[in-house]
Amino acid sequence: MGTLPVSQLMPVPAPAGHDLLLSVTGVHKAFPGVIALDDAHFHLRKGSVHALMGENGAGKSTLMKILAGIYQPDRGTISFKGQVVKLKNPLEALEKGIAMIHQELNLMASMTVAENIWIRREPRNGLGFIDHRRMNRMTKELLARLKIELRPNEEVRSLSVANRQMVEIAKAVSYNSEVLIMDEPTSALTDREAEHLFQIIRDLRAEGKGIVYISHKMNEIFEISDELSVFRDGRYVGTHASKDITRDEIIRMMVGREVSQMFPKEEVEPGDVVLSVKDLALEGVFSGVSFELRAGEILGFAGLVGSGRSNVAETLFGVTPPTSGQITIRGQAVTVTSPGRAIKNGMAFLTEDRKETGCLLPLGVLDNMQVAVLHTDYTRNGFVRGRSLTAACAEMARKLRVKTPSLHTSIENLSGGNQQKALIGRWLLTSPQILILDEPTRGIDVGAKAEIHALISSLAKTGTAVILISSEMPEVLGMSDRVMVMHEGKVTGFLDRQEATQVKIMELAAS
């Protein structure tokens, strides 16, 4: 299918009547070398959940940051409850009743739940000191209203990611915000935690709040949203009631074409054993992990949160050396005590969290891509062969279709999907025999996912041995030749591609 007809690119008229809470018309925003938004439109009703969808780089986050006062538009109009507003900074947006809960949570780890919620608004006693008793009481009442089971005096550093998310929501609600913007709120939550979040969203919707919900998870969109709007390449594509549109129609709107094969797995005859792991253990985390990985094979690691999948990957790569067990690469026993040793043994590792442990955020795309190969063939007599290395990085970026104004653009200005492709390029430059991918498509759009899946499949076809760790069951089932399932630090079973199903994996993951 080609691009969508022009009729689908026209903005829908603003909802009529008094239920319109927020309206964006003709907003434009440009950054050096990039037009992030071009004539953007968006309308949010009271008492509704409006999903905002699009590929990474479509302009969703830029639009939301404009609504949250982080960015100012170059032109265009924002109306809040019928009045045109200028949101100069996040505090002004909060005071007007617009709060944003970011994907990367912004809490003070050393402070308590109550202190985080009421920061800069703490109740004072007659002497001007903070009234901690009153603040804790206010917090307790707020948490009870939201059905959040936390203690006001708990330090945030002791909380799980899910509970930190709840603190952010409570903080937003404490401002009596009428608009709550949630950016990928379930990216690090279990299904049970996500359902708790959905119930809070339903309760807030019932109170008349307007919720803007950004997510790449289609099942969530259909479960929680009333309406959805799609953006592509910084332009508004269309708005639909969630009940009146299908998953495939949303994908076509997002990418402007059919994504006919989300999991383009090619059949490859596995070669010799490249990696053999026997009784690998990390005290207190996992034990007795044994498996073999062959050239051209994609071995999926599945399991619930806390199963130990990522810990095994980190141990294989030398981030956390094992306390016992044996690792053999191409028939030779090896001791992997550091990532440097792992790289020398032909291994590469794309970590789970690209922001925390992947990207060097202040640096450019080139610096991020070349960091793993500075001391390899691109170095001569202690000096880096800069021209050759830059050419190799440019070719890799072109091959992976990394969208960036230049290789010197700061990687933090790229979309999540393009950051991920740049990180994959970093490791492909090392020509790895064994590639470990931990959540390679987390938080990126369907178009970028399809590209990364195709890349993984092509790597396997050329003989690269791949370990694929994913919390998304369709990804594990669609891309793996075999699946190793873990539960609480133990391997509970292996499933061949032909026999693997979601039910069988979940049975092993919960046993």
Domain ranges in the chain?
Answer: 261-346+432-511, 364-430
- CB atoms closer than 10 angstroms to residue 272: 11
- State phi, psi for 245 to the nearest 5 degrees: -140, 150
Quick one: pLDDT at residue 375?
Answer: 67
Rounded distance between C-alpha atoms, residue 201 and residue 374, angstroms: 48
**Residues 473-497: tens digit of each pLDDT:** 888 999 999 999 999 899 999 999 9
Q: Are 296 and 243 in contact (CB under 8 A)?
A: no
Report residue 31: phi and psi, to 5°. -120, 165
**CATH number belonging to the domain at 261-346+432-511, selected among 3.40.50.300, 3.40.190.10, 1.10.3720.10, 3.40.50.10490:** 3.40.50.300
- Residue 44 to residue 50: CA distance in whole angstroms: 7
Residue 102, pLDDT score: 78
Task: Give, in order, the Cα–Cα distances in Å from 339 to each of 274, 315, 351, 434.
Answer: 18, 9, 12, 13
Whether pTM > 0.75 for this model: the answer is no
Task: Identify residue 16 by its one-letter amino acid code.
Answer: A
Q: Are strands 48-53 and 75-80 parallel, antiparallel or unpaired?
A: unpaired
Which residue type is seen at 397?
A
Query: Is residue 75 within a helix (H) or strand (E), and if so which, with residue range?
Result: strand 75-80
Instruction: Give me the pLDDT at residue 4, please.
Output: 40
Neighbours of 351 (CB within 10 A): 19
pLDDT tens-place values along the chain, 511 residues long: 333 433 344 444 455 555 899 999 999 998 876 788 999 999 999 999 999 988 767 888 899 999 999 999 999 999 999 999 999 999 899 889 999 987 666 788 899 999 999 988 899 998 889 999 999 999 999 999 888 889 999 999 998 878 888 898 888 888 888 999 998 888 767 778 888 889 999 999 999 999 999 987 888 899 999 999 999 888 999 999 999 998 888 878 887 755 556 777 888 889 999 999 999 999 999 999 999 999 999 999 998 777 899 999 999 999 999 999 999 999 999 999 999 899 999 999 999 888 778 888 889 999 999 888 766 666 666 666 678 888 989 998 988 888 888 899 999 888 878 888 899 889 888 889 999 999 888 777 777 788 889 889 999 999 999 999 998 888 899 999 999 999 989 999 999 999 998 888 888 987 6
Q: Which two tokens stand for residue 385?
A: 């062969």
Whole-angstrom Cα distance, residue 92 to residue 454?
45
DSSP string, 219-251: HHHHHH-SEEEEEETTEEEEEEEGGG--HHHHH
Burial class (CB in 10 A: 0-12, 13-18, 19+), 134: middle
- What's CA 164's distance to the chain center, in Å? 16
C-alpha to C-alpha distances, 462 to 271, 401, 425, nearest whole angstrom: 11, 20, 16
Length of the chain: 511
d(CA 417, CA 449): 8
pLDDT of residue 11: 42
What pLDDT is stored for residue 98 in this prediction? 93
The reported pLDDT for the residue numbered 10 is: 42
Amino acid identity, residue 195? Answer: E
Rounded to an integer, what distance in angstroms lies between the CA atom of residue 366 and that of residue 350? 17
CA R_g for the chain: 24
Burial category of 226 from C-beta neighbours within 10 Å (exposed 0-12, middle 13-18, buried 19 and up): middle
Strands 235-241 and 227-232: antiparallel
Whole-angstrom distance, CA of residue 254 vs CA of residue 147:
35
The most distant pair of C-alpha atoms in the chain lies apart, rounded to whole Å, by: 77
B/e letters for 396-414, b = 16+ CB within 10 Å, e = fewer, are: bbeebebbbeebebbbebb
* Cα 48 from Cα 79, distance rounded (Å): 17
